[in-house]
Amino acid sequence: MFDGLKEKLGRFREDVEEEAEEVEEAEADAETGETAEGRGAEAGEADAGTPSEPAETDASETAAADESEEGNKQSLSQRAKLFATGKAIIEEEELEEPLEQLELSLLQGDVEMSVAGEITERLREELVGQTRAQVQTGEVMVQRAIGDALREVIGVGQFDFEERIAQADKPVTIIFTGVNGVGKTTTIAKMSRYLEDRGYSTVLANGDTYRAGANEQIEEHAEALDKKIITHEQGGDPAAVIYDAVEYAKAHDVDVVLGDTAGRLHTSKDLMAQLEKIDRVVDPDMTLFVDEAVAGQDATNRAKQFNDAAEIDGVVLTKADADSQGGAAVSIAHVTGKPILFLGVGQGYEDLERFDPEEIVRRVVGEDAA
């Protein structure tokens, strides 16, 4: 995951460095030529026996032209001197084309439009007017600016999941929601293994009471993991199922209740009403939205809609191992203001990986971006 994003940001870094080097060399050549031209003019004046008659010119135009020329000379001279000592100022003009190409590439990589715009604008603010020295090459400066921009976008709302579990009163109740077919039930099973590996006991609850075969699916996972599962008959009240699981956890000193819910769209009023009832009856400690990383813009749109309809605390993206772009993860964090907490990276119960923004930045941008 994130290989596509890494390629696009790396290409931007190379484009900026190449553009800056071309401008610096051109300006250094121009400064050298201007100096030689000035010396030649002085020599010509010395050879002439009498000065030529000055042409009649408007005084204000002459003053303005002289002032503009002097300003350009100073700017050019300043940049040439910096270039000669191994330094250079990055101008906005040098960034325009690379930034436009980067924004287009991000959009093609499933990064939502406002997110792509924010990343490119942050890079513009970070880089324009910066002076870079020999000890900090342009490549390193751009690399760090990219890292800062990416870190700010994907790090939004991050919290320590394990610390929250540790500090919360037991049992901790976590509800999983999202549309059908994205891997909610499998994610619950993976979360059970993840928590077990960290010393927490779990009980599973099937709040997906309307889908045919839902009980059988989660029961298979519970059997494979040797976990207790609470279910009701098909068509039962989802809030009642999860409430019973919480009561079971209290009676048997179980640390965490993991509650499945029916796959739903934000437009399904009945199913959204079920979520609201679960909130009232159970008051879960956390609600996690689950979707596929490979869904791209669809995942981004659904995350926003679910968060608007029933506030979520974080996101789990499944099939992250099959997504080479990574744009959905970046976009979801930005548009919801809620963190990506986990990535599903395989079919096994152990294939649930914590989403670490710092690690993602290092993976996408490079070690020097930290």
pLDDT at 141: 66
- pLDDT above 50 for 85: no
d(CA 255, CA 246) in angstroms, rounded, equals 10
Q: Please tell me the predicted confidence (pLDDT) of residue 142.
A: 72
Cα–Cα nearest to 317, from 174, 302, 53, 50 = 302
pLDDT band at 166 (very low <50, low <70, confident <90, very high): very high
Specify whether the CB–CB gap between 9 and 364 falls below 8 A.
Answer: yes
Give the DSSP letter string of 241-284.
HHHHHHHHHHHTT-SEEEEEE----TT-HHHHHHHHHHHHHH--
Q: Where are the beta strands (DSSP E) in the chain?
A: 88-89, 131-132, 172-177, 202-207, 228-230, 256-261, 286-292, 314-318, 340-344, 352-354
User: In this predicted model, what pLDDT tens digit does every residue of 66-76 receive, in sequence order?
Assistant: 555 554 444 54
Residue 100 has pLDDT above 50, yes or no: yes
Taking residues 275-295, report their average pLDDT.
Answer: 87
Residue 334 has what pLDDT? 79
- Predicted confidence (pLDDT) per residue in 3-61, tens digit: 656 676 766 766 666 665 665 565 556 555 555 455 455 555 545 555 555 445 555 55
Q: Which residue has 């026996």 as its token pair?
A: 49
In terms of Cα–Cα distance, which of 194, 157, 215 is closest to 334? 157
Percent of the chain with pLDDT over 90: 26
Between 341 and 264, residue with greater pLDDT: 341
**Residue of 185 and 135 predicted with greater confidence:** 185
Residues above pLDDT 70, as percent of the chain: 66
Q: How confident is the model at residue 295 (pLDDT cuts 50, 70, 90)?
A: confident
Q: So where are the chain's domains?
A: 3-42+62-154, 161-355
In CATH, the number for domain 161-355 is 3.40.50.300
Query: Model pTM?
Result: 0.72
Mean pLDDT, the chain, integer? 76
Give the CATH architecture of domain 3-42+62-154. Up-down Bundle (1.20)
Burial class (CB in 10 A: 0-12, 13-18, 19+), 196: middle
* 180-216 pLDDT, tens digit each: 888 899 999 999 999 999 999 999 999 887 777 778 8
Tell me which residue has tokens 């032209």.
Answer: 65
* pLDDT score at 133: 46
Location of structure tokens 């031209």: 37
Rounded CA-CA distance 325/231 in Å is: 38
